Amino acid sequence: MDRVDASSLWASLLAHTRQMIPLQGAAIRVDRDSLVDAARASPRNLQENPSGLNALAYLDPHCTLALLDYVLDRAEHPRDALLARQVLGRLARDTLA
């Protein structure tokens, strides 16, 4: 395994996270139905599934509800189960009742 400078890695992670802030703002301003439609039309291959779940973590919980079938489908796969649980954990407690 290659040794990575932890400080550089942490700085890169923070920079990446900061880049998401404007995208979150844009996601708030865009038509939610169009955003959900785009997510549904996105190809669901093995490389894209974790990225789709990560993207949902940055979006409004209403998008998560609209894509609940996708999140639950991913929760059945061991590789994506934890991330799917994290996405679902952002929903209000009584949302799924």
> pTM for the complete prediction?
0.72
Report how far residue 87's alpha carbon sits from residue 54's, in angstroms, rounded to the nearest whole number.
Answer: 8
Q: What is the mean pLDDT of residues 20-30?
A: 86
**Average model confidence (pLDDT) for the chain?**
84
The pLDDT assigned to 68 comes to 92
Asked whether residue 45 carries a pLDDT value surpassing 70, the answer given is no
The residues spanned by each domain of the chain are 6-89
The pLDDT assigned to 43 comes to 65
- Contacts by 80-88, CB closer than 8 A, 24 or more apart: 80/49, 80/50, 80/53, 83/50, 83/53, 83/54, 83/57, 84/53, 86/57, 87/53, 87/56, 87/57, 88/64
Asked whether residue 71 carries a pLDDT value surpassing 80, the answer given is yes
pLDDT band at 44 (very low <50, low <70, confident <90, very high): low
